[in-house]
Structure 1
Amino acid sequence: MAFIKNIDHETVLNLADQIHAEPGQIVSKTLAQNKAVSLTLFAFSKGEEISTHDSIGDAMVHVIDGVGQFTVDGAEHICKAGDVLVMPAKKPHAVFAKEDFKMLLTVVFPLD
């Protein structure tokens, strides 16, 4: 049984090549989801956004292509390819695509 899905195993891949968004879209691809962790690839076209929300788990974004704007508890962070940002559990956050961009989102949930 594979715990990581929707991506080839035992193959070297470029993560940014695994997902694409057309203009006006946000596309997501779930790679893993269980009680402890969620691993999701996202592709945003320029100008798209995910409005303010929060999570019960810590959320870490790893930008793999382009530039994204993340607002965490009112503070803005500009992240480019290679950057990582942790958005703590229960703090409001939002995502805005300043240009086309792609990210890997990892959320680690409490098991209490």
Structure 2
Amino acid sequence: MNAIAPSNRCFNSKFTELIEYPQDGVLSKVLLKDDNCQYTLFCLAAETDISEHTSSRNASIVVLEGRGILTLEGEDIQLEPGVFVFMTAHAPHALKAQDNLAFLLTLSETK
């Protein structure tokens, strides 16, 4: 998986220039990946569902645009711009985009 930026250089960009929504489903762009973290921009079309799954790494979400519902360990969390969510590794979660939804997902080591 190629990243937009090389991991050994400083990087900056505007999310407004990177966000693009698919007609349906999910479009993801890895912005940067190194040995410790991966930063991925997710853009979901309205009414897109991501079924329950887990990750072997800790994760955080920062919502940039849109609305949705994240179900994390059975609890519904309303997603809207500015919301930050931290998920521990192996926490079951699912997602429903109510509108077009864009967020930054950061995967990090569990140590």
Q: Which has the larger strand fraction?
A: 1
Partner residue of 1:3 out of 3, 7, 13:
7
Match of 2:21 in 1: 21
Return the letter of the residue paired with 1:101: L
Return the letter of the residue paired with 2:74: G
* 1:4/1:18 CA distance change after superposition, 3 Å: farther
User: Aligned partners of 2:82, 2:44: CA distance in 1, in Å?
Assistant: 16
User: Aligned partners of 2:16, 2:8: CA distance in 1, in Å?
Assistant: 17
Match of 2:53 in 1: 53
Match of 1:81 in 2: 81
SS in 2 for 1:17: helix
User: Aligned partners of 1:35, 1:74: CA distance in 2, in Å?
Assistant: 31
In the TM superposition, what is the alpha-carbon distance from 1:17 to its structure 2 partner? 3.0
Do structure 1's residue 70 and structure 2's residue 70 form an aligned pair?
yes
SS in 1 for 2:17: helix
In the TM superposition, what is the alpha-carbon distance from 1:16 to its structure 2 partner? 3.4
User: Aligned partners of 2:49, 2:35: CA distance in 1, in Å?
Assistant: 26
Aligned pairs, number: 107
Deviation string 1:27-82 (CA, Å, 9 cap, x unpaired) is 00001234421110010111112111111211100000111210111111011111
Return the letter of the residue paired with 2:45: S
Alpha-carbon RMSD across the aligned residues, in angstroms, is 2.3
User: Aligned partners of 1:23, 1:94: CA distance in 2, in Å?
Assistant: 21
> Which has the larger displacement, 69-78 or 15-24?
15-24
- Structure 2: gaps spanning 5 or more residues: none
TM-score normalised over the length of structure 1: 0.83
Return the letter of the residue paired with 1:61: I
> Which has the larger displacement, 27-36 or 70-79?
27-36
In the TM superposition, what is the alpha-carbon distance from 1:4 to its structure 2 partner? 7.2
SS in 1 for 2:67: strand
